[in-house]
Structure 1
Amino acid sequence: MFDVGLGEMAVLVVLALVIFGDKLPQVAGQAGRMLRQFREMANSAKADLQEGLGPEFKDFDIADLNPKTFVRKHLFEDGDDFLNGKSGLFDDDPTYAKTAREPELAYGERPPYDPEAT
């Protein structure tokens, strides 16, 4: 998380002990309460958004707005297959596998160039 290694984490803990001393438990408690309040505010905002959208969006999830999640959910039937390299679009069509593949290039061979495509 945050790309912090074990050594850096130890330095942060020692600095926290030196700076806050005996008040470290109080500071940690306040930080925990702030985090809990932030989560409650976020959940409340999410509930207000879902309530405002109405019943037709009852299955709406904020995570669906992520472009990767949106594409995976709406274009591919099974997202796990997409992650494993199987799109599900042409898996059942045996002619696609034969006709759509380009011949592999030999070492040092240049791919075909289309001046109208660039």
Structure 2
Amino acid sequence: MFNDIGPLELVTLAVLAVLIFGPDKLPKVIQDVSRTIRKIREFSESAKQDIRTELGPEFKDFEFEDLNPKTFIRKQLENDDLGLKEIRNGFDLKKEMAEVADAVHTTAESAATPLPPGKVDMTKPDTTPDAPRTDLTKKPTDDGRPPFDYDAT
């Protein structure tokens, strides 16, 4: 419950309690607080038991901590009924990245190498002035604006 409170903070709380309540009333206040905490715990445990009995025998292993999404996901991943470990182990990120890098390098190398005479690169547009225009949807403008794409509107 108080896992994140350090020793210096505990000492500070104790000194503040002595200053606020005084040394005479402090034991009675501590007893009252501990009694209240105990009653709250008993109430919550009885409520949990009532819920478990109302749910029936098929929920006898039900834990309220499982309602936390992180706990639920962790339990489901540990169960591994779906074969997620096989998928995770079968996927090698370094290998996949190396294959993508090789594919990019081969396309970059093929773009850098000149074509033999008489061959036409179909991936690049034809820039000769008398070549027929293949992109008929974009009309050039005279005022320097970018071309308007009629298919995109």
Alignment TM-score, normalising by the size of structure 1? 0.64
Where does the alignment leave 5 or more consecutive residues of structure 1 unmatched?
A: 79-86, 107-118
Where does the alignment leave 5 or more consecutive residues of structure 2 unmatched?
A: 102-153
1:97, distance to aligned residue in structure 2 (A): 4.4
Change (3 A) 1:92 1:72: closer
Among all aligned residue pairs of Structure 1 and Structure 2, give the percentage whose two residues are the same amino acid: 46
Change (3 A) 1:101 1:63: farther
1:63, distance to aligned residue in structure 2 (A): 0.9
Counterparts of 1:25-44 in structure 2, within 5 Å, are 25-44=27-46
- Contact 1:50 1:60 survives alignment (8 Å): yes
RCO higher in structure (CA 8 A, sep ≥6): 1
Measured on the aligned residues, the alpha-carbon RMSD in Å equals 3.2
Change (3 A) 1:101 1:46: farther
CA distance in 2, matches of 1:9, 1:74: 38
- Contact 1:76 1:89 survives alignment (8 Å): no
- Contact 1:64 1:70 survives alignment (8 Å): yes
1:7, distance to aligned residue in structure 2 (A): 3.6
Is 1:58 the equivalent of 2:60? yes
Counterparts of 1:7-46 in structure 2, within 5 Å, are 7-21=8-22, 22-46=24-48
User: Aligned residue pairs: how many?
Assistant: 96
CA distance in 2, matches of 1:73, 1:4: 29
Alignment TM-score, normalising by the size of structure 2? 0.51
Aligned counterpart, 2:85: 89
1:13, distance to aligned residue in structure 2 (A): 1.6
Change (3 A) 1:101 1:40: farther
1:4, distance to aligned residue in structure 2 (A): 4.2
